[in-house]
Structure 1
Amino acid sequence: MSALNHTSVIFDLDGTLVDSEPNYFEAGRQLLAEHGITDFTWEDHETYVGISTQETLALWKERYGLTAPLPDLLAEKNRRYLDLARTSTRVFPEMRKFVERLYDAGVPMAVASGSSRPAIEAILAGTGLDTHLTTLVSADEVAHGKPAPDVFLAAAALLGAAPADCVVLEDAAPGALAARAAGMRCVAIPYVAAQADDPAFASAELLLRGGQEEFTAQAALDWLTG
């Protein structure tokens, strides 16, 4: 794979590498129910896919009138999520193959996620992806979350890579916008099928409208080397 000699790959985590959204939904549903909001649905959750946990909770405080301090809500949701994530997070099979193929080829890789660092580390350790993915950036560690480019630029800096040499894999519109703002190429794999026509995805160099059902490790490698 000599064509990949100058390429670094940056992965979003939730909805891209792993199917963690059901865990985020359940953690959020439990949290809201404890505060008297009992009608939170999966469809409600889908509107927050791609937004950091902290930003989601800030929106919930406004939408649902939550009175608890944001740091308390964040700690509670993270605790609930981590309990679920450690035992029930599924890696998308073709994504695992893709990571392994890139690793074997010596391609620098990083994870840049809106999740907290403890959540990222718990998922990577629980799924075994930490064997191949050791460079991590959480949105909590930069000034602005997606759609700002901060997490991707920070990941590139850690890899010692120029943004123009980086390819981002993303499942959500804010992440696609962040990749564009960072000056990076983007492979968009929409987690929510109904969002495939979001204008944000139009900026992606490769858009797989069928999401993970369409993604294959070999096709992604062929695109990278093509």
Structure 2
Amino acid sequence: MSGFSGTAVIFDLDGTLVDSEPNYYEAGRRLLAEHGVPDFTWTDHERYVGISTLETVTRWKREYGLEASVDELLAAKNRRYLELARASTRAYPEMRAFVELLAAEGVPMAVASGSSPEAITAILAGTGLDAQLRTVVSADEVERGKPAPDVFLEAARRLGVTPGDCVVVEDAAPGAAAAHAAGMRCIAVPYLAAQADAPEFATAGLLLRGGQGEFTARAAYDWLLRTR
């Protein structure tokens, strides 16, 4: 019998399983340039890491005074992102190895992401992660995005497990806050090293301050086994 009996793992997608932030940045940069904002930088983009696409474009409309509706901005950003994502999205090797280790033990797993259902499906299929990660929840399918816990709670419901039996793997402060609010443990792998001291990460059961460069599948696997 698996040593993980009763444990489920829920993965964030962007910046956690895959390095998709460069594509999100480029999609946003192009969209904003077309709407009269030509100087959107990577530093500007960092303020939106971990926030759903809907919340991001809602903030853009307000902050930049964009004339297009939120629905129009959302559709345009998703369209541009999908074009980039289908062309090139890289799964982090150690995260892929972690998923494979858990799958071999029969651990229930899900993806809970702020991306659109179409983006999640395209990325998982393009990286081959859809073979192990079949339960997927988008923030578009729940009332509130991260840092609210809705997307993680829905993932637990679909997996048929209680929130207290779930471990979330996250790269962003809003996601770590959402995991805590859901009553779930968290493995935090900050995408941005400068955010490692964010108070939201202080609630994580395992915090890897060095981000993906510090994360290893075996260490995460062993931590889960010790703390189940």
TM-score (norm 2): 0.98
Secondary structure (helix, strand or coil) at the match of 1:219 reads: helix
* Matches of 2:208 and 2:25, distance apart in 1: 24
Counterpart of 1:61 in structure 2 is 61
Which residue type is aligned with residue 21 of structure 1? E
1:210 aligns with 2:204: no
Secondary structure (helix, strand or coil) at the match of 2:10 reads: strand
Counterpart of 1:196 in structure 2 is 196
Aligned pairs, how many?
226
1:111 aligns with 2:111: yes
Counterpart of 1:101 in structure 2 is 101
% identical aligned pairs:
73
Counterpart of 2:153 in structure 1 is 153
Alpha-carbon offset, residue 2 of structure 1: 2.9
* Matches of 2:16 and 2:65, distance apart in 1: 31
Counterpart of 1:70 in structure 2 is 70
| Residues 84-120 of structure 1: per-residue CA shift (max 9 Å, x gap) | 0011100000000000111111000000000000000
Which residue type is aligned with residue 71 of structure 1? D
Secondary structure (helix, strand or coil) at the match of 2:111 reads: strand
Alpha-carbon offset, residue 3 of structure 1: 2.5
* Matches of 2:123 and 2:187, distance apart in 1: 22
Alpha-carbon offset, residue 47 of structure 1: 0.7
* Matches of 2:220 and 2:10, distance apart in 1: 13
Counterpart of 2:129 in structure 1 is 129
* Matches of 2:221 and 2:70, distance apart in 1: 42
| Residues 159-204 of structure 1: per-residue CA shift (max 9 Å, x gap) | 0011010000000000000000000000000000000000000000
Asked whether the 8 Å contact 2:8–2:108 carries over to 1, the reply is: yes
Secondary structure (helix, strand or coil) at the match of 2:194 reads: helix
* Matches of 2:76 and 2:61, distance apart in 1: 14
Which residue type is aligned with residue 20 of structure 1? S
Alpha-carbon offset, residue 33 of structure 1: 0.3
* Matches of 1:3 and 1:212, distance apart in 2: 26
Alpha-carbon RMSD across the aligned residues, in angstroms, is: 0.7
Counterpart of 1:219 in structure 2 is 219
State how 1:156-175 maps to structure 2 within 5 Å: 156-175=156-175
* Matches of 1:89 and 1:36, distance apart in 2: 28
TM-score (norm 1): 0.99
* Matches of 1:133 and 1:151, distance apart in 2: 16
Q: Which runs of 4+ in 1 moved over 2 A?
A: none
